A and B are shown apart, each in its own frame.
Chain A
Amino acid sequence: MDLTLLTDLNDLRSTRRAAILVTSLQDGNQRLVRAEDDLSSDPLADELRKRFRSGKSGTVPTQGGDVFLTVSVPAPRLVIIGAVHISQALVPMAEIAGLDVTVIDPRTAFATGERFPGSTLRDEWPEDVLKDAPLDAYTALAAVTHDPKIDDFPLMEALRTGCFYVGALGSRKTHSKRLERFEAAGLDAALFKRIDAPIGLDIGAASPQEIAVAVLGSIIQALRKGPEASA
């Protein structure tokens, strides 16, 4: 492997950007494909898209012989806005499912270590937290405070940065008011359908714990079947 190729790959990894190293097992030729590259003219386009989603490395037969795809995708993260009852159930479930979870809530009465033992908890405004740890395409965001002052900014930011899942708690009525605010704030209405609202899979969830299951189901669906599937 060319050292510059290896350096490029490591740089992409350290900045949470997905990449695939394509190695010809016939002649050892290599190239690096970034997730943001235009794949439309790539002979491996379908395979590459699939691998960016699954994160799995593997050997693929082609007309020019076998190629090996070294797939590097960032670990999926979940950012929960609101240290509420649903979140107390969602945090351990999401961690078991393999997500790296952060809970953000500026209301210090909610965001306590006692309510969220062992969790990554930030009792600050989302605006401040996301400045240091920006959202990205390998992050899911669930906003569950019911308070527009807290939820609105991170939801809009999640849509702008292409989070693979964007979920918002609230009734249909609450949600349509939310969209009016987003439109007034200048957000592209085409992005609105990306929001999973009412939040979670439609399984008739009644308790906070059951809602957490529904939300996690939606997140996994978006992760594995593509962001279009959940909203």
Chain B
Amino acid sequence: MPATDTSPLADVLRTAEAWTGSGRSVALATVIETWGSAPRPVGSHLVIDSDGNFEGSVSGGCVEGAVVSEALDVIETGKPATLEFGVADETAWQVGLSCGGRIRVYVEPVS
């Protein structure tokens, strides 16, 4: 399998289809833009259900928690949202990317 830009979508999309098909409420998060040394490339996916289960990754672990909690809102309201994460700053409770990059993540309901 090619290592770089031809990488196929992770099978998160099949998981999203299977979860939705089995009646779970699901949101799909996609990395739509990266700056600097972002850990996951544009097009990476995370699928989340209303119980907070998730598969895939958008950052290799740094901001998944925040994306999951935002996804729960998206599932409830049915409205997509765009999130942006940057370098973690002094504000201890704010999540960020320790690698120094920034990413934009689009979260949408699947129904």
Contact = CB atoms under 8 A, between A and B. Distances in A.
B16 interface: yes
Given A6-B17, A25-B82, A68-B32, A73 B106 contact: no
B4 interface: yes
Interface string A86-115: 000000000000111000000000000000
A98 B8 contact: no
Nearest to A56: B5
Contacts of A74: 8
Given A7-B17, A57-B43, A72-B8, A99 B2 contact: yes
Given A28-B80, A75-B1, A70 B21 contact: no
A10 interface: yes
Contacts of A98: 1-4, 6
A70 B9 contact: yes
Contacts of B5: 54-56
Nearest to A223: B6
Interface string B71-93: 00000000110100000000000
Specify which of A1, A54, A68 lies most central, judged by the most chain B CB atoms within 10 Å of its CB: A1
Contacts, number: 77
Given A1-B108, A28-B108, A68-B106, A13 B8 contact: yes
Contact of B13 (A2, A6, A75, A100): A6
Contacts of A25: 32, 82, 106
A76 B87 CA distance: 36
Given A13-B13, A25-B106, A75 B2 contact: yes
Contacts of A68: 30, 32, 106
Contacts of A7: 17
A3 B43 contact: no
Contacts of B41: 57
A3 B6 contact: no
Given A55-B6, A98-B1, A98-B4, A23 B106 contact: yes
Contacts of A23: 106, 108
Contacts of A6: 13, 16-17, 20, 110
Given A6-B13, A25-B82, A68-B32, A75 B6 contact: yes
A72 B79 CA distance: 25
Contacts of B4: 98
B110 A10 contact: no
B68 interface: no
B39 to A, nearest CB: 16
Interface in A170-196: none
B61 to A, nearest CB: 21
Contacts of B2: 75-76, 98-100
B28 interface: yes
Nearest to B104: A59
A9 interface: yes
10 contacts: A1-B16, A3-B17, A6-B13, A6-B17, A6-B20, A25-B82, A28-B80, A58-B32, A76-B2, A98-B1
